[in-house]
Amino acid sequence: MAEKQATEDLQLIDIEQVFASKDEKLLKRIPGFFIHYLKRIVHQDEINKFLTDIQGNEGQDFVDRALEYMNVNIILKGVENIPSNSRMIIVSNHPLGGLDGMCLMQTLAERLDPNIMATSNDILMNVKPSRSLFLGVNKHGGNSRAYIKEMQETFDGDKAVIFFPAGLVSRRKWGKIEDTEWKRTFVKKSVSHKRDVLPVHISGRVSNFFYNLSNIRTFLGIKYNIEMLYLVDELLKHKNQDLTITFGPVIPWSHFTRDKSPEEWAKEVKKQVYEFGKKL
Protein backbone atom coordinates (compact mmCIF):
# COMPACT_ATOMS: atom_id res chain seq x y z
CA MET A 1 0.00 0.00 0.00
CA ALA A 2 2.84 2.39 0.90
CA GLU A 3 4.56 1.64 -2.42
CA LYS A 4 1.35 2.36 -4.33
CA GLN A 5 0.89 5.65 -2.49
CA ALA A 6 4.49 6.66 -3.25
CA THR A 7 3.94 5.98 -6.96
CA GLU A 8 0.74 8.04 -6.96
CA ASP A 9 2.53 10.91 -5.21
CA LEU A 10 5.16 10.86 -7.97
CA GLN A 11 2.49 11.44 -10.61
CA LEU A 12 4.36 9.43 -13.22
CA ILE A 13 3.46 9.94 -16.87
CA ASP A 14 0.88 7.46 -18.12
CA ILE A 15 -0.43 8.23 -21.60
CA GLU A 16 -3.00 5.45 -21.56
CA GLN A 17 -4.34 6.61 -18.21
CA VAL A 18 -4.70 10.16 -19.54
CA PHE A 19 -7.03 8.96 -22.29
CA ALA A 20 -8.81 6.49 -20.00
CA SER A 21 -9.54 9.22 -17.47
CA LYS A 22 -11.29 11.18 -20.21
CA ASP A 23 -13.18 8.32 -21.81
CA GLU A 24 -12.59 4.56 -21.49
CA LYS A 25 -14.29 3.95 -24.84
CA LEU A 26 -12.06 6.52 -26.50
CA LEU A 27 -8.95 4.67 -25.34
CA LYS A 28 -10.19 1.45 -26.98
CA ARG A 29 -10.71 3.27 -30.28
CA ILE A 30 -7.20 4.76 -30.41
CA PRO A 31 -4.77 2.59 -32.43
CA GLY A 32 -2.00 1.03 -30.40
CA PHE A 33 0.69 2.44 -32.68
CA PHE A 34 -0.51 5.98 -31.90
CA ILE A 35 -0.34 5.37 -28.15
CA HIS A 36 3.17 4.00 -28.61
CA TYR A 37 4.13 7.09 -30.66
CA LEU A 38 2.86 9.44 -27.95
CA LYS A 39 4.80 7.55 -25.29
CA ARG A 40 7.93 7.93 -27.39
CA ILE A 41 7.67 11.66 -28.10
CA VAL A 42 6.98 12.48 -24.44
CA HIS A 43 9.78 10.09 -23.41
CA GLN A 44 7.47 8.40 -20.93
CA ASP A 45 9.91 5.69 -19.79
CA GLU A 46 12.93 8.00 -19.51
CA ILE A 47 11.04 10.73 -17.62
CA ASN A 48 9.38 8.24 -15.26
CA LYS A 49 12.73 6.65 -14.45
CA PHE A 50 14.20 10.08 -13.72
CA LEU A 51 11.27 11.04 -11.48
CA THR A 52 11.55 7.75 -9.62
CA ASP A 53 15.32 8.08 -9.16
CA ILE A 54 15.06 11.57 -7.65
CA GLN A 55 11.93 10.94 -5.60
CA GLY A 56 11.88 13.25 -2.59
CA ASN A 57 13.60 16.15 -4.33
CA GLU A 58 11.25 19.10 -4.71
CA GLY A 59 11.43 22.78 -5.55
CA GLN A 60 14.94 24.07 -6.20
CA ASP A 61 16.42 20.67 -5.33
CA PHE A 62 14.41 19.17 -8.19
CA VAL A 63 15.68 21.85 -10.58
CA ASP A 64 19.28 21.19 -9.53
CA ARG A 65 18.90 17.43 -10.10
CA ALA A 66 17.25 17.98 -13.47
CA LEU A 67 20.08 20.23 -14.66
CA GLU A 68 22.62 17.72 -13.37
CA TYR A 69 20.85 15.11 -15.50
CA MET A 70 20.87 17.40 -18.54
CA ASN A 71 24.55 18.31 -18.03
CA VAL A 72 24.07 21.77 -19.53
CA ASN A 73 26.97 24.23 -19.52
CA ILE A 74 25.51 27.60 -18.44
CA ILE A 75 27.46 30.60 -19.73
CA LEU A 76 26.70 33.84 -17.87
CA LYS A 77 27.11 37.37 -19.21
CA GLY A 78 26.30 40.69 -17.57
CA VAL A 79 26.41 39.13 -14.09
CA GLU A 80 27.39 42.53 -12.69
CA ASN A 81 23.83 43.66 -13.51
CA ILE A 82 22.30 41.22 -11.00
CA PRO A 83 21.36 43.41 -8.01
CA SER A 84 21.75 42.57 -4.34
CA ASN A 85 18.11 43.45 -3.69
CA SER A 86 16.00 40.32 -4.12
CA ARG A 87 12.73 42.23 -4.49
CA MET A 88 12.89 42.12 -8.28
CA ILE A 89 10.79 41.10 -11.24
CA ILE A 90 12.92 39.20 -13.74
CA VAL A 91 11.65 39.15 -17.32
CA SER A 92 13.07 36.89 -20.01
CA ASN A 93 12.50 35.55 -23.47
CA HIS A 94 11.39 31.92 -23.62
CA PRO A 95 13.27 30.04 -26.36
CA LEU A 96 13.13 26.49 -25.01
CA GLY A 97 10.04 26.02 -22.84
CA GLY A 98 11.63 24.27 -19.88
CA LEU A 99 15.40 24.13 -19.86
CA ASP A 100 15.67 27.92 -20.08
CA GLY A 101 13.46 28.29 -17.03
CA MET A 102 15.46 25.78 -14.98
CA CYS A 103 18.79 27.38 -15.86
CA LEU A 104 17.53 30.86 -15.02
CA MET A 105 15.99 29.71 -11.74
CA GLN A 106 19.16 27.93 -10.62
CA THR A 107 21.37 30.90 -11.55
CA LEU A 108 19.23 33.44 -9.70
CA ALA A 109 18.61 31.16 -6.72
CA GLU A 110 22.38 31.10 -6.22
CA ARG A 111 23.02 34.80 -6.88
CA LEU A 112 19.85 36.71 -6.01
CA ASP A 113 17.22 34.83 -3.99
CA PRO A 114 17.19 31.15 -2.89
CA ASN A 115 13.41 31.41 -2.53
CA ILE A 116 12.79 32.73 -6.03
CA MET A 117 9.40 32.09 -7.60
CA ALA A 118 8.23 32.10 -11.22
CA THR A 119 5.05 32.54 -13.20
CA SER A 120 3.92 29.70 -15.47
CA ASN A 121 6.52 27.80 -17.48
CA ASP A 122 5.37 25.46 -20.27
CA ILE A 123 6.84 22.24 -18.91
CA LEU A 124 7.81 22.74 -15.29
CA MET A 125 4.43 23.94 -14.03
CA ASN A 126 3.03 20.52 -14.93
CA VAL A 127 5.69 18.57 -13.02
CA LYS A 128 4.63 18.00 -9.42
CA PRO A 129 8.09 18.22 -7.75
CA SER A 130 8.60 21.73 -9.16
CA ARG A 131 5.11 23.15 -8.65
CA SER A 132 6.05 24.88 -5.41
CA LEU A 133 8.25 27.23 -7.45
CA PHE A 134 5.44 28.50 -9.65
CA LEU A 135 2.72 31.09 -9.21
CA GLY A 136 1.06 29.99 -12.45
CA VAL A 137 -0.35 26.88 -10.79
CA ASN A 138 -3.45 27.25 -8.67
CA LYS A 139 -2.48 24.87 -5.87
CA HIS A 140 -5.80 25.33 -4.11
CA GLY A 141 -8.14 24.60 -7.01
CA GLY A 142 -10.54 26.92 -8.83
CA ASN A 143 -10.17 30.66 -8.45
CA SER A 144 -9.98 30.37 -4.69
CA ARG A 145 -9.42 33.29 -2.38
CA ALA A 146 -6.40 31.46 -0.97
CA TYR A 147 -4.81 31.43 -4.43
CA ILE A 148 -5.45 35.13 -5.01
CA LYS A 149 -4.12 35.90 -1.54
CA GLU A 150 -0.97 33.90 -2.22
CA MET A 151 -0.33 35.88 -5.42
CA GLN A 152 -0.85 39.18 -3.62
CA GLU A 153 1.38 38.23 -0.68
CA THR A 154 4.16 37.08 -2.99
CA PHE A 155 4.34 40.39 -4.83
CA ASP A 156 3.94 42.37 -1.61
CA GLY A 157 6.79 40.38 -0.09
CA ASP A 158 10.50 40.24 -0.85
CA LYS A 159 10.81 37.13 -3.04
CA ALA A 160 12.17 37.60 -6.54
CA VAL A 161 9.68 36.63 -9.25
CA ILE A 162 10.49 35.43 -12.78
CA PHE A 163 8.17 36.32 -15.65
CA PHE A 164 8.12 34.85 -19.15
CA PRO A 165 5.91 37.63 -20.58
CA ALA A 166 5.18 35.85 -23.86
CA GLY A 167 3.64 32.91 -22.01
CA LEU A 168 4.70 30.65 -24.89
CA VAL A 169 7.89 29.21 -26.33
CA SER A 170 9.39 31.44 -29.00
CA ARG A 171 8.06 30.91 -32.52
CA ARG A 172 9.52 31.44 -35.98
CA LYS A 173 7.77 33.95 -38.22
CA TRP A 174 9.08 35.16 -41.57
CA GLY A 175 12.37 33.41 -40.82
CA LYS A 176 12.87 35.21 -37.49
CA ILE A 177 12.84 33.28 -34.20
CA GLU A 178 11.42 35.41 -31.41
CA ASP A 179 8.88 35.47 -28.62
CA THR A 180 5.29 36.26 -29.42
CA GLU A 181 3.89 39.49 -27.97
CA TRP A 182 4.98 40.19 -24.39
CA LYS A 183 1.99 40.65 -22.10
CA ARG A 184 1.75 43.78 -19.99
CA THR A 185 1.33 42.03 -16.61
CA PHE A 186 4.94 42.42 -15.47
CA VAL A 187 4.81 46.18 -16.13
CA LYS A 188 1.66 46.60 -14.07
CA LYS A 189 3.06 44.45 -11.26
CA SER A 190 6.30 46.42 -11.33
CA VAL A 191 4.51 49.74 -10.86
CA SER A 192 1.81 48.62 -8.44
CA HIS A 193 4.27 46.78 -6.16
CA LYS A 194 7.23 49.13 -6.71
CA ARG A 195 9.49 46.32 -7.95
CA ASP A 196 12.38 47.06 -10.31
CA VAL A 197 12.77 44.88 -13.40
CA LEU A 198 15.84 42.81 -14.34
CA PRO A 199 15.73 42.03 -18.10
CA VAL A 200 17.29 38.76 -19.26
CA HIS A 201 18.08 37.20 -22.62
CA ILE A 202 18.50 33.42 -22.95
CA SER A 203 20.09 31.83 -26.00
CA GLY A 204 18.84 28.76 -27.80
CA ARG A 205 16.15 27.51 -30.14
CA VAL A 206 14.09 24.41 -30.70
CA SER A 207 13.93 22.35 -33.90
CA ASN A 208 12.62 23.35 -37.32
CA PHE A 209 10.02 20.63 -36.88
CA PHE A 210 8.56 22.43 -33.86
CA TYR A 211 8.45 25.81 -35.60
CA ASN A 212 6.97 24.35 -38.79
CA LEU A 213 4.32 22.43 -36.89
CA SER A 214 3.33 25.59 -35.03
CA ASN A 215 3.05 27.58 -38.26
CA ILE A 216 1.03 24.86 -40.02
CA ARG A 217 -1.33 24.57 -37.04
CA THR A 218 -1.84 28.33 -37.02
CA PHE A 219 -2.40 28.41 -40.78
CA LEU A 220 -5.06 25.68 -40.48
CA GLY A 221 -6.80 27.56 -37.69
CA ILE A 222 -6.29 24.78 -35.12
CA LYS A 223 -6.52 26.35 -31.68
CA TYR A 224 -5.14 23.41 -29.68
CA ASN A 225 -1.40 23.88 -29.15
CA ILE A 226 -0.34 20.56 -30.73
CA GLU A 227 3.36 21.40 -30.74
CA MET A 228 3.36 21.43 -26.94
CA LEU A 229 3.38 17.62 -27.08
CA TYR A 230 6.94 17.81 -28.40
CA LEU A 231 8.41 20.11 -25.74
CA VAL A 232 9.88 17.30 -23.64
CA ASP A 233 11.46 15.86 -26.78
CA GLU A 234 12.85 19.29 -27.60
CA LEU A 235 14.18 19.73 -24.07
CA LEU A 236 16.07 16.43 -24.08
CA LYS A 237 17.77 17.33 -27.36
CA HIS A 238 19.74 19.94 -25.40
CA LYS A 239 21.61 17.48 -23.20
CA ASN A 240 25.33 18.28 -22.88
CA GLN A 241 24.97 21.59 -24.71
CA ASP A 242 25.79 25.23 -23.90
CA LEU A 243 23.21 27.83 -22.95
CA THR A 244 24.02 31.53 -22.54
CA ILE A 245 22.14 33.77 -20.10
CA THR A 246 22.71 37.51 -20.48
CA PHE A 247 21.58 39.99 -17.82
CA GLY A 248 20.81 43.55 -18.84
CA PRO A 249 20.78 46.72 -16.70
CA VAL A 250 18.03 46.94 -14.07
CA ILE A 251 15.00 49.02 -15.07
CA PRO A 252 13.61 51.04 -12.11
CA TRP A 253 9.87 50.66 -11.59
CA SER A 254 9.54 54.46 -11.85
CA HIS A 255 10.75 54.20 -15.46
CA PHE A 256 7.31 52.93 -16.50
CA THR A 257 5.59 56.30 -16.62
CA ARG A 258 2.16 57.07 -18.01
CA ASP A 259 3.76 58.50 -21.14
CA LYS A 260 3.26 55.02 -22.59
CA SER A 261 0.71 52.31 -22.01
CA PRO A 262 1.75 49.09 -20.18
CA GLU A 263 1.50 47.30 -23.55
CA GLU A 264 3.93 49.78 -25.11
CA TRP A 265 6.37 49.46 -22.22
CA ALA A 266 6.25 45.66 -22.48
CA LYS A 267 7.03 45.90 -26.19
CA GLU A 268 9.94 48.24 -25.49
CA VAL A 269 11.47 45.98 -22.83
CA LYS A 270 11.15 42.98 -25.16
CA LYS A 271 12.99 44.93 -27.88
CA GLN A 272 15.71 45.89 -25.40
CA VAL A 273 16.17 42.25 -24.32
CA TYR A 274 16.72 41.05 -27.88
CA GLU A 275 19.06 43.95 -28.64
CA PHE A 276 21.47 43.36 -25.75
CA GLY A 277 21.15 39.60 -26.16
CA LYS A 278 22.31 39.91 -29.75
CA LYS A 279 25.05 42.38 -28.92
CA LEU A 280 26.63 40.37 -26.12
**CA separation for the pair 268, 248 (Å, rounded):** 14
Residue range of the domain that includes 238:
58-279
Same domain, 62 and 185: yes
pLDDT, one tens digit per residue, over 65-109 is 999 999 999 999 999 999 998 999 999 999 998 899 999 999 999
Helices (H), the chain: 2-10, 15-22, 24-29, 32-41, 44-53, 60-70, 99-111, 145-156, 185-192, 208-220, 231-236, 262-279
Same domain, 224 and 174: yes
Same domain, 136 and 13: no
Furthest C-alpha separation in the chain:
62
pLDDT of residue 141: 52
pLDDT, one tens digit per residue, over 99-154 is 999 999 999 999 999 999 998 766 666 678 888 888 865 544 555 677 678 788 88
**Mean per-residue pLDDT, 7-30:** 69
Same domain, 68 and 45: no
Same domain, 4 and 138: no
pLDDT of residue 2: 39
Same domain, 91 and 227: yes
Which strands form 161-163's sheet, in the order they lie side by side? Answer: 73-77, 242-247, 196-202, 88-92, 161-163, 117-118
CA atoms within 13 A on the CB side of 42: 18
| Confidence (pTM) | 0.87
**CA separation for the pair 74, 241 (Å, rounded):** 9
Same domain, 211 and 140: yes
Q: What is the CATH number of the domain that holds 217?
A: 3.40.1130
Same domain, 79 and 148: yes
Could you write out the DSSP letters of every residue in 66-117?
A: HHHHHT-EEEEE-GGGS-S---EEEEE--SSSSHHHHHHHHHHHHHT-TT-E
* Total domains in the fold of the chain: 2
DSSP secondary-structure letter at 119? S
